[in-house]
Amino acid sequence: MFPGGNLDAFHDGEIPAPESAQRHEDGPAYRLGAIRECFEESGILLARAGSASGQLLDLDLESRKAARKAVHGNQVAFPDWLQRIDGVADSGECSRPG
């Protein structure tokens, strides 16, 4: 099965309008949407600790399952959930710790 998905302003922030030139350019909503969809569809979480360590987050299986269900069911916005677990999406937009 091939995973599907869409951008969602609830989870991914402001999405460029259909007539906008930015609709066809890389941007924060597209990056966050891709990271969220990867997590929802496969359980792979591309996120780092928000602390100075910047380590990839490692969640136990039960926490991961519950979060996938809550995010997919729109019970919590993906960025809000990441913030609750002191995480940030690993979107490639920030520098990596040494």
pLDDT of 93 reads 61
Instruction: Give the predicted TM-score (pTM) of the model.
Output: 0.84
pLDDT of 23 reads 86
Please state, in angstroms and rounded to a whole number, the distance separating the CA atoms of residues 89 and 74. 18
| Sequence ranges of the domains in the chain | 9-89
28: Cβ–Cβ under 8 A, 6 or more apart, which residues? Answer: 12, 13, 91, 93
Please state, in angstroms and rounded to a whole number, the distance separating the CA atoms of residues 63 and 66. 5
- In the block, tokens 């979060």 appear at 67
pLDDT of 96 reads 42
Mean pLDDT per 10-residue interval, the chain, length 98 residues: 74 92 89 94 92 84 96 96 94 55
pLDDT of 4 reads 67
Tens digits of residue pLDDT in 49-76: 987 678 899 899 999 999 999 999 999 9
